[in-house]
Amino acid sequence: MTVYAIIGGTGLTQLDGLSMKALLHPDTPYGSPSAGIVQGEYAGQDVLFLARHGHPHRIPPHQVNYRANLWALKHAGAQAVIAVNAVGGIHPAMGSGHLVVPHQLIDYSHGRIGTFFEGDLDHVTHIDFSHPYDDGLRAKLLAGLRACDYPHSDFGVYACTQGPRLETVAEIARLERDGCDIVGMTGMPEAALARELDLPYACLSLVVNPAAGKSEGIITMAEIEAALDEGIGKVRDVLAHVLKH
């Protein structure tokens, strides 16, 4: 049975219903992970859970220690990673509350340490990253969404921006011209680091607001929090289905 690691993003700093067996605080060659790794049982299956932004939510996306997080999960026994992300919707079908399983991504972040392959190396390593998300894991997430009968999209190009500020209207227009469907701040380098560790990786993205310029008025935290409150229960249902099946 595959041991899944779930990385919780904004709105999912803890996984309700997770029965904790141990709380791991591993030391890594890259520093400390964002929080302790919860080793427990969810939906009757062994699972590892890590809050990407810490618990409580305190680490901004550009300061997350992505290398420590992924290394710690791998060495705790993770065999696959499901990442949960709160995102803005660019594609007209991807409004607040919509769930997306992205199939591609474009990295617009900068200054983040994005590889394990640096320093005093014996040789240079170039991973293939043509398709950043694992097809098998994406299929499991989509099966869960269909079983739960939640509105969702089985495609999506994820634009990863630097944050922590939200984007300008002109920036979103540029991302749309580039072919992006959703925008978030944590998709990279997380996906690439998982590939370097040979960990199957896929995202379940919850749209919590229309991106800048996609609705009237400004984006408010009240709007985002309301969408999170409404949508996180659906995320938990889908995760439970994936683990059970």
Residue 211 marked ligand-binding = yes
How far from 120 is each of 5, 49, 117, 196, 198, CA to CA, in Å?
30, 32, 9, 17, 21
Give the single-character DSSP code of 28: B
Instruction: State yes or no: 186 annotated in a binding site.
Output: yes
What radius of gyration do the chain's Cα atoms show? 17
Cα separation of 9 and 245, whole Å? 23
Strands (E), the chain: 4-8, 19-24, 37-42, 45-51, 80-89, 99-100, 104-107, 152-153, 157-160, 182-184, 201-210
DSSP annotation of 211 reads P
Check the annotation: does 2 bind a ligand: no
Query: 3-state DSSP call for residue 135?
Result: helix
What CA–CA distance (Å, rounded) separates 217 from 110? 29
CA distance 181 to 179: 7
Is 209 assigned to a binding site? yes
Burial 2-20 (b: 16+ CB within 10 A, else e): eebbbbbbbbbbebeebee
The reply to whether 53 sits in an annotated binding site is: yes
| 52 carries a ligand binding annotation | yes
Q: Which residues are annotated as a binding site?
A: 10, 52-53, 185-186, 209-211
Binding residues for substrate: 185, 209-211
Where is the binding site for phosphate, in residues?
A: 10, 52-53, 186
